[in-house]
């Protein structure tokens, strides 16, 4: 199970989170470029490991479990780092993090009832918006964007928070029967 290429990619993505955060928090031009590179590779690897798992017929329970966790770790690690760096305030980050906990809990409840909650279009769009937010902030830390950088950052932030809330609502609405089936 650990030997499949998709699982190795997913585990490497998880292992990259502490290094990414260390580089980001080091605050030098070189470490910022390295942080951008690691985050970009992690974002690309998310699509690659899923594609390879399907193409090579190597989907595993570990992959189904670890892949969404790896996605959450790299994004949440970046967002928490941005709070420490003063790029973001805690409130919108907490909305995004809370959504991830709630949906993970919902998926655990579904699994306990023998059901699976598949990713929705809004959920995938939420992930893309969060990756975009992180990349915008990373790029603006290296390149001087001035006022346009702040506008772009806040546009992405509001979009990511809105999609976090909307996609959570959608998941809970689609899964409402899970709560009525409790003994």
> Which pTM value belongs to this model?
0.90
Contact residues for 159 (Cβ-Cβ < 8 A; gap 6+):
129, 132, 133
CA proximity to 79, closest of 27, 163, 17, 37: 17
Length, in residues, of the chain: 183
Over residues 37-60, mean pLDDT:
91
- Tell me what pLDDT residue 66 has: 86
Residue 3 has φ and ψ, to the nearest 5°, of -85, -5
Domains by residue range for the chain, with CATH: 5-180 (1.20.120.1760)
Inform me whether the pLDDT recorded for 101 exceeds 90.
yes
Over residues 24-40, mean pLDDT:
94
175, 117 in Cβ contact below 8 A?
yes
As given in the structure block, the two tokens for residue 1 are 């199970």
Which residue did the predictor score with more confidence, 164 or 107? 164
- Tell me what pLDDT residue 155 has: 96
pLDDT digits (tens, 9 = 90+) for 112-165: 888 888 889 999 999 999 999 999 999 998 888 889 989 999 999 999 999 999
| Alpha-carbon gap, residue 84 to 59, rounded angstroms | 37
pLDDT digits (tens, 9 = 90+) for 52-91: 988 998 988 888 888 889 999 999 999 999 999 999 999 9
As given in the structure block, the two tokens for residue 182 are 């409790």
State the SS3 of the chain: CCCCHHHHHHHHHHHHHHHHHHHHHHCCHHHHHHHHHHHHHHHHHHHHHHHHHHHCCCCCHHHHHHHHHHHHHHHHHHHHHHHHCCCCCHHHHHHHHHHHHHHHHHHHHHHHCCCCCCCCHHHHHHHHHHHHHHHHHHHHHHCCCHHHHHHHHHHHHHHHHHHHHHHHHHHHHHCHHHHHCCC
Which residue did the predictor score with more confidence, 183 or 143? 143
- Tell me what pLDDT residue 24 has: 96
Over residues 88-108, mean pLDDT:
95
């Amino acid at each position: 199970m650990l030997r499949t290429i998709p699982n190795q990619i997913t585990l490497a993505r998880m292992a990259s989170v502490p290094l990414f955060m260390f580089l980001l928090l080091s605050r030098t031009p070189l470490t910022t470029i390295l942080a951008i590179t690691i985050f970009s590779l992690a974002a690309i690897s998310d699509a690659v490991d899923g594609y390879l798992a399907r193409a090579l017929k190597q989907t595993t329970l570990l992959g189904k479990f670890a892949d969404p966790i790896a996605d959450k770790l790299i994004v949440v690690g970046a967002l928490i780092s941005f709070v420490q760096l003063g790029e973001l305030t805690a409130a919108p980050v907490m909305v995004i993090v809370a959504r991830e906990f709630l949906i993970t809990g919902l998926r655990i409840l579904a699994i306990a009832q023998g059901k699976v909650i598949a990713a929705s279009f809004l959920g995938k769009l939420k992930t893309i918006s969060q990756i975009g937010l992180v990349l915008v902030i990373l790029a603006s830390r290296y390149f001087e964007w001035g006022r346009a950088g702040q506008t772009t950052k806040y546009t992405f932030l509001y979009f990511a928070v809105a999609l976090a809330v909307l996609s959570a609502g959608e998941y809970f609405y689609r899964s409402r029967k899970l709560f009525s089936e409790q003994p």
